[in-house]
Amino acid sequence: MTDADHHVSDRSLAIARAAFAEGCDHPLAGPLPVNPDDRQRVENLIREKGLSDQPLVVLHYGTTWKTKLWPVDLWQQLAERLCREDHLRPVLTWGNPEELAVAERIHQATEGTAVIWPRGSLGELSALLKQADLVVAGDTGPLHIAAAHGTSTVSMFRVTDALRNGPRGTGHIRLQSPLNCSPCLEKTCDRDAECGHSIGLSPVLEAVRALLKGKRG
């Protein structure tokens, strides 16, 4: 491995090149295919929920590690500000009952303006992330699915390394915890609350607005 193979995708490609030395040097591929039926169901829901006439911003709270999560109170503040100041209706996605409970708390903070998206299949989630103008998330699967679709992202990295794991290229803003112990790859930590709040609301909100402004030209 060399410095050029630091990112996880480069490391995986380097392993593949070593195993198949005569293969081609293929660039990062994309976008992901979307099933037409999934796309149609998502488009119908977007219309039904009255989201067709504004930028579609998806907020995804959940991750597999607790130490990757951005704090609930900051998600609430982000959603409330986007609704009140930017006149958006963020879409809240979730994958299990615990994440649904958090989505409901975020929804309540916006006085019902944000939209709790119904849980569907993985294909339907993928179709939604492709339709979105912007996805905000931590280091989690939906973030990387969105990036693979070419959807712009804002991501918060705490215990993992944004330079190693984050989406690359234009249209992506990655925010890393400034704590000197980050990234640590720890799944539990006594400084969890401090670490989560070390990425404040302001830089996330500014990143969201910058990317949306770029889309509006």
- Indicate if the pLDDT at residue 113 is higher than 90: yes
Give me the pLDDT at residue 207, please: 97
Helix spans in 49-200 (H): 72-86, 97-109, 122-131, 141-148, 162-165, 192-197
- Indicate if the pLDDT at residue 108 is higher than 60: yes
- Indicate if the pLDDT at residue 1 is higher than 50: no
* Residue whose tokens read 């488009």: 43
CA 136, 97, 111 angle in degrees (round to 5)? Answer: 60
Q: Are strands 57-60 and 91-93 parallel, antiparallel or unpaired?
A: parallel
Q: State mean pLDDT over 106-126.
A: 97
* Residue whose tokens read 């999934």: 38
* Residue whose tokens read 């009952």: 97
Q: Outline which parts of the chain fall under CATH 3.40.50.2000.
A: 35-216
pLDDT, one tens digit per residue, over 28-37 is 555 688 999 9
Q: State mean pLDDT over 41-68.
A: 96
Q: What is the mean pLDDT of the chain?
A: 88
Q: Are 194 and 146 in contact (CB under 8 A)?
A: no
Lowest mean pLDDT among 77-86, 144-153, 181-190: 181-190
CATH of domain 35-216: 3.40.50.2000
Q: Are 42 and 58 in contact (CB under 8 A)?
A: no
Give me the pLDDT at residue 22, please: 56
How far is CA 60 from each of CA 47, 82, 95, rounded to the nearest angstrom?
Answer: 21, 15, 9
pTM for the full predicted model: 0.86
R_g of the chain, CA atoms, integer Å = 18
Q: State mean pLDDT over 176-190.
A: 89
Distance CA 98, CA 160 (A): 22
Distance CA 49, CA 110 (A): 16
- Assign residue 185 a region: left if phi > 0, alpha if psi is -120 to 50, beta otherwise? left
